[in-house]
With several copies, the nearest count.
Chain A
Amino acid sequence: MILFENVSKTYPGSHEALSNVSFHLHRGDMAFLTGHSGAGKSTLLKLIALIERTTRGQILIGGQNLAGVTKRKIPYFRRNIGIIFQDHRLLLDRTVFDNVALPLIIAGLDYREITRKVRAALDKVNLLNKEKQLPATLSTGEQQRVGIARAVVNKPPVLLADEPTGNLDPELSEEIMKMFEQFNQVGVTVLIASHDLELIKRMQHRTLVLGKGKLIAQFPEEDS
Chain B
Amino acid sequence: MRRGRTKKPEHASRKMQNTSSRRPGLIALIKNYFLRHMQVMFYSIGQLSRTPFSSLMTSAVIGIALALPSAFFTLLDNVQTLSLGWDGNAQISLFMKYNVSNSDAQKLATKLRMRQEVKLTRFISREQALEEFRTHSGFGDVLDVLEKNPLPAVIVVVPATTLDTPDQIETLLTSLKNIPEVDLAQLDLEWVKRLHALLETAQRGITILAVLLGLSVLLVVGNTIRLGIENRRDEIVITKLIGATNRFIRRPFLYTGIWYGLIGGLLAWSAVFTTMMLLKAPVNRLADLYYSQFTLSLPGLENALLLVFSGALLGLAGSWIAVGRHLQDIEPT
Contacts and interface: CB of A to CB of B under 8 A. Distances in A.
Q: Do chains A and B touch in the complex (CB under 8 A)?
A: yes
Interface of A: 49, 51-52, 61-64, 73, 75-80, 83, 85, 89-93, 102-103, 106-108, 110, 136, 150, 155, 157-158
8 contacts: A49-B241, A62-B16, A75-B248, A76-B11, A77-B12, A78-B241, A91-B238, A103-B242
Interface in B1-46: 8-9, 11-13, 15-20, 32, 36
Q: Is the interface of B mostly helix, strand, loop or mixed?
A: helix
B242 A106 contact: yes
B58 interface: no
A73 B333 contact: no
A103 B17 CA distance: 18
A158 B16 CA distance: 9
Contacts of B238: 89-91
A108 B32 contact: yes
B262 to A, nearest CB: 23
Given A91-B235, A106-B248, A150-B242, A80 B8 contact: no
Contact of A63 (B9, B15, B246): B15
Q: Which of A75, A80, A83, A91 gathers the greatest number of chain B CB atoms within 10 Å?
A: A75
Interface residues of B, number: 28
B102 to A, nearest CB: 85
A89 B333 CA distance: 12
A51 B12 contact: no
A6 to B, nearest CB: 23
B88 interface: no
A194 to B, nearest CB: 20
Contact of A51 (B9, B32, B239, B333): B333
A131 B221 CA distance: 36
Contacts of A83: 241
Contact of B243 (A64, A75, A90, A92): A75
B203 interface: no
A73 B8 contact: yes
Contacts of A155: 19-20
A91 B252 CA distance: 15
Given A90-B238, A155-B20, A157-B17, A73 B12 contact: yes
A63 B17 CA distance: 10
A78 B16 contact: no
Contact of B9 (A49, A76, A89): A76
A85 B13 CA distance: 23
B32 A110 contact: yes
B305 interface: no
B277 interface: no
